[in-house]
Structure formats: structure tokens, C-alpha cells
Amino acid sequence: MFEDLSQKLEVVFKRLRGQGKISEANISESLREVRRVLLDADVNYKVAKQFIDDVQKRAVGQEVLHSITPGQLIVKIIYDELVKLMGSSSVAINISPMPPTVIMVAGLQGSGKTTFCAKLANHLKGKGRFPILVAADVYRPAAIDQLEMLGKQIQIPVVAERGSGAIAIAEGAIEQARKAARDVIIIDTAGRLHVDEEMMREIETMKAKVHPHEILFVVDSMTGQDAVNTAKAFHDRLNFDGVVLTKLDGDTRGGAALSIRAVVNKPIKFVGVGEKLDALEVFHPDRMASRILGMGDIVTFVEKAQTQFDETKARKLEEKLRKSQFTFEDFLDQLREIKKMGSLQQVMSMIPGLNRLPMNAAVDDKALVRVEAIIQSMTSEERLKPNIINGNRRRRIAYGSGTSVQEVNKVLKQFIEMQKMMKTFSKGKIPGMLRGMQLPG
Ligand SMILES: Nc1nc2c(ncn2[C@@H]2O[C@H](COP(=O)(O)OP(=O)(O)O)[C@@H](O)[C@H]2O)c(=O)[nH]1
Ligand SMILES: [Mg+2]
């Protein structure tokens, strides 16, 4: 998802972070690059301009704390602004306190309406509701068959009245739902290849007749700015409640996801990430921003770290790293600290930069136990000065820990790698980034 956009942003940030001191001039230059990247991703040009202005304004007024670099601060500001751009928080669909809730789904032909209707029904069923699907796309007979087939797959009833008009079907379905004690009615409407007057009128009439509690507008994210323009045209007539972005699993550039909220001022509520009926995600602006920035799920990581990572210990460690005094004692400590946070693999995958290290082979929770045993079989002198561990000592450690010399060698090698990695830590990359994420405002 958005690989191209993420990669380009990462290049800009890397350059920015690599600079110790940052002047207004090179911030401006970087932001110009970010703007170009956004335009390349097919973000609406007005939206891109406003975005850069907002970032710049915040960056200029911001005091840089000692603990973070200006580059990190910019990344943080951009992250915050991306979240804001996409709507700040997740917005749920309206569920009527008086069932049945009526949900109308509109959009152009091929945008993924019918698929989404089935996905939504499946999603709501998983939440303990009893949806019913309504086939109100009467112009293409195959559309009715398609919805019936999808309904069968997820065992959800489908109202299909071949030969009736769309509005009569929708009205009849509400009656049927009441009788069958279904609490959510999802209406799949007809789309066209382009926005046209006839379709608009039909949808308007349907809205007036069935009084939907929620109107969702489906757009194909692969169509970029076209998706945004279509959404705007529909919104002017229909005043819908939320947007569904489909096909985000494809080779989409991200323009629609980033611009649509700002242009139509309605939240993205769901995203479709595949053809299968479980390929639906509730849209979270913060998670999407993390994905786009290529920072893994850093927010989740920070939350976990905040609750479980001992701040003072971290600071002490950082101090040591700065002085390059990282020892096996610390290695052991660090391993245990990480273990507390969850699986090592999972933790590593959430840290930007680390998720790309070729260390994955070494990161295995079972191996961790053996690593611990090996370190415990070292004398304290060996733990502090690993370079004295010669062949004899390696044999002794292997024997003592019930492992092999090869494994001891491997751990020593890993330790050196970890030391190297910690040096990048010590340059402020990761702890600084974490602190950056905790800045207020
Ligand atoms: N890859 C992918 N394909 C999707 C997604 N949503 C729908 N599709 C496909 O897009 C095509 C059109 O979908 P359909 O629901 O029939 O669109 P409609 O004409 O708006 O009802 C179908 O081949 C779907 O399988 C999605 O999120 N990801
Ligand atoms: Mg359809």
C-alpha cells in the first residue's frame, strides 16, 4: 500500500535526519520535496499546498527540545498533519437506536459497491448484528446474481425482486427486514460509468423515500483525483455521511486517501484491501499515516513502550551507548526488556529502520532463551569485556550453557551487530524518535 509514496518520503526524511543542525532554508527545501512527492502521489494540489503551509507554520514556531533533533521534529509534525489531513480520528457508521438501521451504498460502476455491501454485512454480522442485503441495482441483471452469490458465501439473506424498480425494491426491503427481524439493511444501488443526471436523481429519490441513517460513498482509490472529483460531485447532491475507499491493496498512489477528506469534508470510514469478503478495514487516520510514513506501527509501539519501558533504564542505556560502553550485561537487560513488550519479531517490525535490518533470522523468541543461557555462563569480566572471550573461554561457555561453540560464536557475532545497531540508537535515532512521538501538540 502506497509503497512509492512511502519510499520517496523516506528519502526526504533520511536526508533531513542526517543533518545535525537544520536551518529554515533546508527545512523549506525538504518541504518543497515533500510537496513534490505528494503531487506525484496524485494528491490534490490545493490540499498539498495547504498541507505544506501548515507543516511549515508549525515547524517555524516550534521550540526544539534538547532530546530530539530538528529533523525528527519535522517527521513528527508531518505525521501529525497527515493524521489531521485524513480526519484525526476514526468515525463509525450511524447505527439507529431504533432498528432497523438503513445503510445506502452509492458510487460509480466498478468502484466496488456490491463487494463492499457484502463485506460490510459480514463485518456487522461479526459484531453480532443481523444484516440483510438489498439488490437495488436493477439495470444489470448480473448485479443481482452477484449480490445473491456473495450473500450465500457469508450466509446473509438478500432481497432481490427481479422486475421491480429500484425504489420499490428498497421500500419493500425495509418491510421485509422488519418481518424477518433483521436490524441492518444494506442497499446496493446502481452505478454508472460516469456521474450522470439520471443516476443522481434515482439516488436522490431513494434517499428521500427510505430515509437512510447512513449513506456511504464508494470510490476506487486506483482512480486518484478522479475519485476525489466524483466524490465531490456526489456529495454536492447527496450529502453522504462517509467514504469507502476500495482497492487499497492495489498499486495505488495514495492521492485519493490523502485528499478526499479535505475536499469533501466527510470522513473515510472503511477501506477495502482485497477481493475477499474479509478484506475490509475500519479506517484509522493515525494508522494510515504511520503506514504512509513507512514508520511501521510506531504509534502502537510507543504506547506499548510508554507503559512498559522503564524510562530511567532507557536513559542510562542511552548514556552508555553514547560512551560506547554497551556490554553483554546490557544486552541481556535489553533482551529482557524487549521480551516484556511482546514478541521480539513484533517489536522489531514496529521500529522504523530496524524493520529493514537483516537480523530477522537472529530474532527468534526460542533462540532468546539460549542466548540468555549463554550470557549467564559468562563471567562478569567476560560480560564487560567480550573481546577477551577466546577459544578456550568459548568452549567453557558452550559447555556451561548446554549449547555449542558455534552457538556461542553466533551470539558473539550478534552482540557485535547489536552494538553496531546501538550506535545508531545512540545517535538519537530511535530513543529520540520515541520521545519525538510523545511531544505535546
Ligand atoms: N483488489 C480489490 N478488488 C476489489 C476491491 N473491492 C472490489 N474489488 C473488485 O472490483 C471489481 C468491481 O467490484 P463490484 O463490487 O462489482 O463493483 P460495483 O460495480 O461498484 O458494484 C470486482 O472485480 C471486485 O472483486 C478491493 O478492495 N480490492
Ligand atoms: Mg454492483
CB 192 within 8 A of CB 178: no
Does 221 contact ligand 1 (Cβ within 6 A)?
no
Could you report the per-residue pLDDT of 232-271, keeping only the tens digit for each? Answer: 988 998 999 999 999 998 877 888 889 999 999 999 999 9
Nearest atom within ligand 1 for CA of residue 250? 1
- Ranges for all domains in the chain classified under CATH 1.10.260.30: 298-437
Ligand 1 atom at shortest distance from the alpha carbon of 115: 15
Q: What is the pLDDT of residue 441?
A: 26
Q: How many other CB atoms are there within 10 angstroms of residue 57's CB atom? A: 12
* 32-36, 319-323, 353-357: segment of lowest average pLDDT: 353-357
215-235 exposure pattern, b = at least 16 Cβ within 10 A, e = fewer: bbbbbbbbbbbbbbbbbeebb
Q: Point out the ligand nearest to the CA of residue 106.
A: 1
| Cα gap 333→337, rounded to integer Å | 6
Calpha distance 377→402 (Å, rounded): 9
Confidence of residue 65 (pLDDT cuts 50, 70, 90): very low
The better pLDDT of the pair 308, 441 is held by: 308
- Supply the mean pLDDT for the chain: 80
341 vs 154, residue with greater confidence = 154
Q: Is the pLDDT of residue 360 over 70?
A: no
Q: Is the CB of 111 under 6 A from ligand 1?
A: yes
Per mean pLDDT, which range of 270-274, 278-282, 382-386 is the poorest?
Answer: 382-386
Percent of the chain with pLDDT over 90: 39
Q: Tell which one of 246, 252, 281 to mutate to probe ligand 1, the residue whose CB is within 8 A of the most ligand atoms.
A: 246
Q: What is the pLDDT of residue 315?
A: 64
Residue in the block written with cell 457508521: 93
pLDDT tens digit sequence for 11-54: 887 777 666 566 677 788 888 999 999 998 889 989 999 999 99
The alpha carbon dihedral of 273, 278, 282, 286 has a sign of: negative
Omega before 100 within 30 of 0, i.e. cis: yes
Q: Report yes or no: 255 and 104 within 8 Å, Cβ to Cβ.
A: no
247 lines ligand 1 (CB under 6 A): yes
Contacts 24+ apart (CB under 8 A), 296-304: 296/349, 296/350, 296/351, 296/352, 296/355, 297/349, 297/350, 298/350, 298/351, 298/352, 298/433, 298/437, 299/437, 300/350, 301/347, 301/350, 301/351, 301/434, 302/434, 302/437, 302/438, 304/341, 304/342, 304/347
**Every domain range in the chain assigned CATH 1.20.120.140:** 3-85
How remote is the C-alpha of 393 from its chain's centroid? 48
Q: What is the pLDDT of residue 292?
A: 82
CATH superfamily of 101-286: P-loop containing nucleotide triphosphate hydrolases (3.40.50.300)
332 closest CA partner among 300, 396, 392, 380? 380
Tell me how far the alpha carbon of residue 109 lies from the centroid of ligand 2, in angstroms. Answer: 6
pLDDT at position 122, please? 95
Answer whether 87's CB lies under 8 Å from 267's CB: yes
Q: Which residue has the higher pLDDT, 175 or 150?
A: 150
Rounded to whole angstroms, the Cα distance separating 152 from 135 reads 13
- Of 282, 403, 409, 388, nearest to 327 by C-alpha is 388
Pocket-testing residue among 1, 108, 115, ligand 1, by greatest number of atoms within 8 A of Cβ: 115
Please work out whether the CB of residue 165 comes within 6 Å of at least one atom of ligand 1: no
Nearest to 185 by CA among 211, 149, 154, 165: 211
Q: Which of 66-80, 113-127, 161-175, 340-354 has the lowest mean pLDDT?
A: 340-354
CA of 272 to the centre of ligand 2 (A): 15
The single-letter code of the amino acid at 403 is T
Residue 58: its pLDDT value, please?
81
Q: Fold for domain 298-437?
A: 434 Repressor (Amino-terminal Domain) (1.10.260)
Residues 6+ apart with CB under 8 A from 25: none
Neighbouring C-beta atoms of residue 50, cutoff 10 Å: 14
Give the residue from 101, 175, 165, 107 showing the smallest Cα distance to 139.
Answer: 165
CA 178 to chain centre: 38
Ligand 1 within 6 A of CB of 230: no
User: How much distance in Å is there from the Cα of 112 to the middle of ligand 1?
Assistant: 4
Measured from the CB, is residue 273 less than 6 Å from ligand 1?
Answer: yes
Whether 249 is in the pocket of ligand 1, judged by its Cβ within 6 Å, is yes
Helix, strand, coil proportions of the chain in percent (round to 5)? 60, 10, 30
Q: Which atom of ligand 1 is nearest to the CA of 273?
A: 27
* 164 CA to centre of ligand 2 in angstroms: 17
Query: Does the beta carbon of 107 sit less than 6 angstroms from any atom of ligand 1?
Result: yes
Q: What is the pLDDT of residues 402-412, one digit of tens each?
A: 999 999 998 88
**pLDDT score at 5:** 86
Rounded to two decimals, what is the model's pTM? 0.69
How much is the pLDDT for 337?
66
Cell numbers placing 163: 422486475
* Nearest Cα residue to 185 out of 110, 144, 267, 129: 129
Ligand 1 atom with least separation from CA of 280: 27
Question: In this structure, which ligand is nearest to the CA of 108?
Answer: 1
pLDDT at 67 over 80: no
Question: The domain at 3-85 falls in which architecture?
Answer: Up-down Bundle (1.20)
Query: CATH 3.40.50.300 residue ranges in the chain?
Result: 101-286
Predicted confidence at residue 267, as pLDDT, reads 95
Q: Please tell me if the CB atom of residue 71 comes closer than 6 angstroms to any atom of ligand 1.
A: no
